Structure 1
Amino acid sequence: MDTGTDLVAAQADRFAAIDSLLPVAASPPDGETLVATLPDGRRVTGVLRRTDIDPAAPEALWSALRVWELTPLLGDGGTAEMDAVLRACRARLDRERPVTDSACVVAWPSRDVEATRALLDHGLVPLTALAVRGAGTAAGAGDPAVRIRRARPADVEPILRLERVEIEYSAQVGNLRPRPGSGERDRRRRTLRRRLADGEPVWLAELGGEPVGFADGGRTDVTPETSFGTMLPAGRWGQLHSVAVLPGVRGRGVGRALLAAAHAELDRDGARGTSLFYNPPNPLASVFWHRQGYRPLWTIWEVRPAALLR
């Protein structure tokens, strides 16, 4: 089995067996096709796509400026097949001489243990996970002393300060990378003002009248044609874009109170659940989100710079 169609079909069957929430991939993305031959003569492939990010773009906050995104097509294979595709990718990158501000990225189902072995062996790190929780999933209650309310336009600057604290912390353990001079803070201020003026779901947590945390959310209708169509099953999903709590009050139930309010609203109107991205290496996030009912669906493996792919 080595035709592209056969590989996609077999991989779809394997993904369905690994995790019933994974959407069915109808076809591989556009890009350069890499072919790898296994010792027994079978072939597997991968699609490699290069993207250059503007340093002033919002994505530059969490992305390298030159990214090679690899989509392996392994059929029903696991470790050996992933190893072969990553070797082919390594050979292809050798012709590129990747710059320092670069990355090679692979998004792969979190529950695929067999492929994980090959990804680790080739130097990739699980920096980001797309996690999901079902609507109505119960979680612990927050501190009753925490007041949660919808944020208003006058709350822009306190929210920006909270967000900056979170970015600086997450940069130590994840893929966030503040870029001085990029205009990122001014851009975020404009975006936040517009969202708050439009009544978008942003919640502020207060203790003693002082802002100590916030959560920024929304909803999206996922179909195969939308940007999340290859990552989430079809339906209405709540989303959490950003959550921050001041370090001095962590562990006091501020985050739980924020999430209780956010989930109560995002779970309405027939939502299947809520999704978010978090950093598995973050020792706080990897515990907190699981306790709130989330579990990884996709893991985004990354190596920076791309030249370090083994």
Structure 2
Amino acid sequence: MLLVSLLCGVALGDAGIGWTEAFRFLRAGLTGGTLPASDASEYLIVWEIRLPRVVLGAVVGAGLAAVGVAVQAMVRNALADPFVLGISSGAAVGANAVILLGAFAGLGVWALSASAFLSALLAMVLVYAVARSPYGFTPLRLILTGTALAFGFQAITTVMVFGAARGEAARSVMMWILGSLGGATWTKVPLVALVVVAGWIWLRIRAEALNALSVGDETAAALGVDPGRLRRELFFVTAAVTGTVVAVSGAIGFVGLMVPHVVRMLVGADHRRVLAVAPLVGAVLLVWADVLSRVLLAPAELPIGVITAVVGVPAFLLLMRRGGYAFGGR
């Protein structure tokens, strides 16, 4: 499904490039074949615009889904997602500083991603400092701290938007807050992919510990798992992956909330299986959400977060109604 989705994501668009031509350009780019000069512009559209966007979308979707699984286990809350820690709202402050105030202008095309990532790290440090107690981390403290600080970051973002001049900048802010892959380039893919893969590998290694943690701290401790230490490790891994993903794609919601539940309906609650399947499902979901965002109102582009909500909410509710599903198991 993911391979077919990637091919469809490259072939579909409003540039008038047919399936045959798109696949021909892909083959030429992969094999080093030559093309007529008349195909140069269409080749660039496929190879330099669509393909990196589709690949980045798959990586972002995989990262959000994997982190969603981890966050729900960490706080033992069925409504948790990667943004419950307030990291995405903190990243939005940095991104808006670039869009509205021109901060970090000396970094050029990297200004938006760098500012968003740095502000996400600062938000992570702040959440960690506030949520920490002499008894370590608890699910309730993490949820309350992340939620409260997220509202604070959103307030800062709102003040920045209302204090800036109206026009294209405000529209860019809305696109970023709701998620967009419009700025995808090949230079952004390797770093994001490296962070997502590294985070996923760590989560897979700790899958059995996540099984114990999701049952309860006392049970986890009886099975030889230190809940406080594991929760700290999960916090930093999920924050690093979320901050990296949000820095290149904006705050795409609902993927990290919906995908873990859908996957549990399919394969059960064992995190060894959930973490093997969830990134693939998240990648497929986000690739198609990006395709719809590009073609529904072409040549205009919708924010991806709108697509994931409009399509995902009814599908998720239907699955919940028909599946007899309960959080943590069938």
Regarding TM over 0.5, the answer is: no
TM-score normalised by length of structure 1: 0.23
TM-score normalised by length of structure 2: 0.22
Structure with bigger RCO (C-alpha 8 Å, 6+ apart) = 2
